[in-house]
Amino acid sequence: MANKNRSSPSPTTPKLMETNGFSLMNEDLLRNILSRLPATSFASAATVSKTWNAACCHILSRPKFSSAISLKPLPLVALQEVFDKVMSEPIRPHFAIASVGPGFEIKDVLQFMVEKVGSRTPIIVSSVKGILGRDALSHEFREVKWIDGNIDEVPVNTGIVLTVGFVPGLKVDVIPLLRQRKAPQGSMTDKFVQDIKSYTSSMSGCTSPQAIIMIGDGSVDQKPILEKLDYAMSMETIIVGDERGQFVYRSSDVSRNVSTNKKHSPDAVALVFARDRNKACGIGNIEFHFALSKGVSAIGPRLKAASVRVQDSYTVTWLTARREGQQEILDGQQMLEDIDNEMENNMDCVDLYIGVTRRRNCSVGSDKPRMMTTLALHGIEGGDSEYLYVDGVGIRTGDYFQFYHSDPKTALSSSRSVSSTLRKLKLDWDSKSSLSKSTIINAVDKKEAFGGFIFSCLGRGESFFGQLNVDSSPFLDNFPGVPVAGTFCGGEIGRGCTSLTANGDEGGSARCHLHAYSTVYLVMSYTPPEH
């Protein structure tokens, strides 16, 4: 007969577990168990006791970058699949970026992410032309583009790449450029730049962040915005992103989460990475590294804009030009015929641009203006017996320009150069680690890459190069196993130190931050603290 006084068994609570058998575990075993938990369970485990919290903090003492793609035809299934993958290991998201195909409703994706990672986590969701990353289930690396609703020539228009990052020692937030309908763009751009500087100053004590990932609205000219950012930020600040996107966002600062309405609309959004002035002891340093593979080549003589017209209702510039040192006025038809002759009648096989060298005074707010020389690329719309027609505005009479064309040979050579410079970067990290240590280097003590982003032109990819994964290979070959996420863009934002840039003849001494037929790389590295 059963003992009537014996109490019935009850579920074991985490607290009871900790005060009974689990308290007898040694530290290594506890960490081993906790490190195998998915992110949600890991977060719960950290609240069990001080001992468990300390173990969890030790597990996440280094930065972590988790990314995955899914091409499942049902958007919700694809979204759940990538979320489960990126959250399958311990991580505390400091930011999240989702890039999706045309089959997704970006507002629905944002709402899903807010519910899953919390309203205080900075989030950007953007609709893109294609994605790069590892499949959530097969782990195969994929480069895919959507063209007219097709992906890899399969009639599917859904796909997503999701990235979450844990970056101890940094502060991260989303800052939008909110345009008021009746306010001039210049004043709102100044406020955008000042908001970034103010946020960075409050977090780090300096006004320039380490890096910015920026998504621009496709209907807004991003050139003046990038020029002001270039003016205001130190040379060490890296800026990368997509010039022509469609996006929604969530900032940890509720006051910045203004919905698009009749009074406000976001022209751009910036994910800002600033140093944390209150970084805890025992946390190492995160650095950002920029590289650029170019894909255009200059052709023809240097020209000077002779007359410039802009129709108020269009974002197209009409212009004529002179050859340098000559007085003859060239119309659009003459200029294009000259370029076609130089290309041996192959002009129809490439995309054409003009690169305009602009010398302009630039300032932000009440700051002292400074003369800046930039190279602005404008796509060729056509030409006739009167004018050359180019995309965009901002060209003035007297500006010098030169024609550029998309060039897969230049792009392939530049891509190989980027791969070589990234390889040298890794060797430099290894050599410095060896010099600073008198004993054999432990893998956990080395400076190493832990994640990265790729922003590549929609015109590149397999159809451009005739081979797969050219745009991702510089990262994959040098940092095997390191998570990386990427998108195909309608215009690539890339501003950073030129030491890792495969320099071609684009721009000469002029600074160019909005590129064409390029691939921009952002590598994130971590150096452990000195023991």
Model pLDDT for residues 385-413, shown as the tens digit of each residue: 999 999 999 999 999 999 999 999 999 99
Query: How many other C-beta atoms can be found within 10 angstroms of the C-beta atom of residue 399?
Result: 20
Q: Which residues share a beta bridge with 215?
A: 242, 269
Residue 470, classified by CB atoms within 10 Å of its CB into exposed (0-12), middle (13-18) or buried (19+), is buried
Quick one: three-class SS letters along 281-294?
CCCCEEEEEEEEEC
Q: Quick one: which of 132, 150, 100 has its CA closest to 487?
A: 132
Average pLDDT, the chain: 89
Record the pTM: 0.90
Residue 4: its pLDDT value, please? 43
Instruction: With beta carbons less than 8 A apart as the criterion, state whether 107 and 140 touch.
Output: no
Q: 């000077």: which residue's tokens?
A: 304
Instruction: With beta carbons less than 8 A apart as the criterion, state whether 171 and 205 touch.
Output: no
Higher pLDDT, 461 or 181: 461
Residue 264: its pLDDT value, please? 77
Model pLDDT for residues 307-327, shown as the tens digit of each residue: 999 976 678 999 999 998 899
Q: The tokens of 127 are what?
A: 């609709």
Specify the DSSP class assigned to residue 117: H
Residue 501: its pLDDT value, please? 47
CA 512 – CA 375 distance, rounded (Å)? 5
- Compute the average pLDDT of residues 431-441: 59
Poorest-pLDDT segment among 368-377, 496-505, 520-529: 496-505
Poorest-pLDDT segment among 90-94, 380-384, 440-444: 440-444
Residue 503: its pLDDT value, please? 42
- Compute the average pLDDT of residues 208-218: 97
Residue 385: its pLDDT value, please? 97
Model pLDDT for residues 61-79, shown as the tens digit of each residue: 899 999 999 999 999 999 9
CA 517 – CA 408 distance, rounded (Å)? 9
Would you place residue 258 in the very low, low, confident or very high pLDDT band (cuts 50, 70, 90)? confident
DSSP for 135-174, please give it. Answer: BTTT--EEEEEEETTEETTBS----EEEEEEE-TTEEEEE
Residue 65, classified by CB atoms within 10 Å of its CB into exposed (0-12), middle (13-18) or buried (19+), is buried
- Compute the average pLDDT of residues 334-353: 93
Q: The tokens of 480 are what?
A: 């095997």
pLDDT at 494 over 70: yes
Residue 18: its pLDDT value, please? 47
- Compute the average pLDDT of residues 127-137: 96
Residue 505: its pLDDT value, please? 47
Query: What single-letter amino acid sits at 423?
Result: R
Residue 9: its pLDDT value, please? 45
Residue 183: its pLDDT value, please? 66
Model pLDDT for residues 1-14, shown as the tens digit of each residue: 444 444 444 444 44
- Percent pLDDT > 70 in the chain is 86
Q: Which residues share a beta bridge with 377?
A: 355
Residue 504: its pLDDT value, please? 44
Instruction: With beta carbons less than 8 A apart as the criterion, state whether 486 and 456 touch.
Output: yes
Residue 182: its pLDDT value, please? 65
Residue 530: its pLDDT value, please? 81
Would you place residue 499 in the very low, low, confident or very high pLDDT band (cuts 50, 70, 90)? very low
Q: The tokens of 529 are what?
A: 């603290």
